[in-house]
Amino acid sequence: MTAVFEADVPSAPASGEPALLEALAGDLAELAYTVDGVEALLGAAAYAALGRGHLAPALLEARRMSDGAREGIVPVLLWLLGETVDGADLGVAFPRTGRAGLQRLRLIEPSEGPGAGTSDGAAGWRAAVELRPYGSDVGGGLWVASDLGSEQRPGPLRHDHVLGIGGASLTLAQTVMRNPVARALDLGTGCGIQAFHLLSHARHVTATDISERALAFARFNLLLNAPALGLDPQRLEERVALRLGSLLEPVAGERFDLVVSNPPFVITPRTGSPADAYTYRDGGLAGDAIVETLVRELPGVLAPGGAAQLLGNWEITEGTPWDRRVGRFVPAGVDAWVIQREQLSPVQYAETWLRDAAEDRDRSAYLDSFAAYLADFSSRDVEAIGFGSIWLRRPSSPGALVRVTLEEITHEIEQPVGPHLSAAVARSDWLAARTEQAASGTGIADAFLLVADDVTEERHQRPGAEHPGVILLRQGAGLRRTSLLSTELAGFASACDGDLTAGQIAGALAMLLDRPDPAFTAELLVDVEQLIREGFLIPAP
């Protein structure tokens, strides 16, 4: 078993003084440095702009504040806005930690260049890292340390940049099915966001990363938030293990009930030295090989019945549908559900990721990098890049019936969507059990069904027409699907009130429509199964 990571990394926050971390947590709580507290301090509009990476409204609001609000604004100025703060103000705002304590924790550093000194002659201090409040379903108000972004500290990011709370990490946190498990793996933990959430429903979490700095940030965050996360700082290893290494190497030979990963899936051209790569996003393999590798290998670390959920990019090559190519990644005998949420052209993709790392400041270098992206995609006939989520499951027993589903859902869905995905898997399992019984039993024919509470029906017809030309079922929650119904399927759904079995409803429709052929009933029940799978109809309790 790989040794637990315990190294001190000088370029990351220090976590070796539990009493000092406890003091910091007390000061932050006293300052109301929480999601709600910062929003109340800055106002909803300025806070929303801050979340989009626009600092100006928050800066203007901070400068308009009276002296009475000065203590509360200090952490906002320091860690969210990247401003220089007086040493005296730090002492007042952080009476338990003190300016010296913040420096020992490596959260602040002396300001450099013009303005390093302040008007009263006191030394100026700036953030060494970002420390952001985070509202989660784990323990309420938490704080997350990560590297400063380019909006707070101008210039390109360092290549071992540790990403904070971003759109992808939040998307994964909202997508994970949070069923109670014994052992969970956070593969590529970064600053530790997924581990925070896993601790709410996993007895033990193993968090891995290829970056020492990332693991140091994750440990700092875990220890700073230990009470809210239910951790004993003196016995962290009882619930969390931090491991250093690439992909699945740190957990070779182990098995987990749940694996989650926001891997370094960004597709970047293989130019320059590996040291030039950004570890938080670049997996070091050509094209989408990092995602393909994980999809193929993750089932090998899953316990029977265990599942993995990850985000990823995949290349869509000319002449090959995206689902056919990604479907080839999935090993035989594994349940899989892939949802493509977005497609970008090579040009759009290059724009996005060069801007992400603030590489668009130097025109000459930017043009060279942009050309490298386009040449790389062209070399593999890539016409688009897909983004989405992947769910994999190892069957509980060998030879069990498995299902591989690949679909595209680009419209807005309800968040968090994890509970709805979990319910969909449960319905699919229910259907699979019925299918196995069908050869010797009745399949879904003896099941009582209901229309889900969030489902509504729409009927459209031409003026003067006797019957509707279009009948739709729409979901108001979850994946918010829409299903086009035939007349007989619409009639079936309208009768699903739990009083009659599916077979009785199908039989009644066959008589009503004068369709005595058994094939009609069989085909209708197949369509009904799809409505169950998609959540329009659900088994009655």
Terminal-to-terminal C-alpha distance of the chain = 45
Cβ atoms of 426 and 518 within 8 Å: the answer is no
Cβ atoms of 127 and 173 within 8 Å: the answer is no
Strand order in the sheet with 256-261: 240-244, 202-209, 181-187, 256-261, 302-317, 382-393, 335-344, 404-408
Sign of CA dihedral 479, 291, 391, 483: positive
Beta partners for 314? 386
Largest CA distance in the chain: 94
Domain 429-539 part of CATH 1.10.8: no
Q: What is the distance between the alpha carbons of residues 8 and 31, in angstroms, rounded to a whole number?
A: 29
Q: Quick one: which H or E segment has residue 60?
A: helix 56-64
E strand spans, 215-344: 240-244, 256-261, 302-317, 335-344
Q: What is the distance between the alpha carbons of residues 447 and 462, in angstroms, rounded to a whole number?
A: 36
Q: What are phi and psi of 538, to 5 degrees?
A: -135, 150
Phi-psi region of 462 (alpha: psi -120 to 50; beta: other; left: phi over 0): beta
Q: Report in angstroms the alpha-carbon separations of 387 from 111, 341, 349, 390, 408.
A: 40, 6, 11, 10, 10
pLDDT tens column, 31-88? 999 999 999 999 999 999 998 889 999 999 988 875 556 788 999 999 999 999 999 9
Cβ-based neighbour number of residue 213 at 10 Å: 22
Give the pair of three-digit tokens for residue 3: 């040794």
Q: What is the distance between the alpha carbons of residues 92 and 99, in angstroms, rounded to a whole number?
A: 9
Q: What is the distance between the alpha carbons of residues 433 and 426, in angstroms, rounded to a whole number?
A: 11
**DSSP classification of residue 117:** B
Three-state SS string over 42-53 comes to: HCHHHHHHHHCC
Q: Report in angstroms the alpha-carbon separations of 42 from 73, 79, 530.
A: 9, 14, 48
Q: Report in angstroms the alpha-carbon separations of 350 from 283, 370, 373, 375.
A: 17, 6, 6, 11
Q: Is 172 helix (H, G, I), strand (E, B) or coil?
A: helix
Cβ atoms of 244 and 290 within 8 Å: the answer is no
Place of tokens 């003190």: 98
Q: What is the distance between the alpha carbons of residues 532 and 535, in angstroms, rounded to a whole number?
A: 5
Q: What are phi and psi of 102, to 5 degrees?
A: -60, -35
Q: Is 530 helix (H, G, I), strand (E, B) or coil?
A: helix
Q: Classify burial at 455, counting beta carbons within 10 Å of its beta carbon; exposed 0-12, middle 13-18, buried 19 or more.
A: buried
Q: What is the pLDDT of residue 369?
A: 87
Q: What is the pLDDT of residue 275?
A: 58
Q: What is the distance between the alpha carbons of residues 416 and 508, in angstroms, rounded to a whole number?
A: 39
Domain boundaries, given as residue ranges, for the chain: 18-137+142-146, 160-413, 429-539
Which segments of 391-443 does DSSP mark as H helices, in order? 418-438
User: What CATH architecture is 160-413?
Assistant: 3-Layer(aba) Sandwich (3.40)
Which residue in 133, 127, 130 sits closest to 39, CA to CA?
133
Give the pair of three-digit tokens for residue 123: 């030394």
Cβ atoms of 132 and 79 within 8 Å: the answer is yes
Q: What is the pLDDT of residue 115?
A: 43
Cβ atoms of 492 and 528 within 8 Å: the answer is yes
Q: What are phi and psi of 279, to 5 degrees?
A: -65, -25
Which residue in 471, 441, 443 sits closest to 455, CA to CA?
471
> Which regions in the chain score pLDDT beneath 70?
1-4, 66-69, 113-123, 137-140, 271-277, 281, 357-361, 436-442
Q: What is the pLDDT of residue 139?
A: 58
Q: What is the pLDDT of residue 364?
A: 84
Q: What is the pLDDT of residue 118?
A: 47
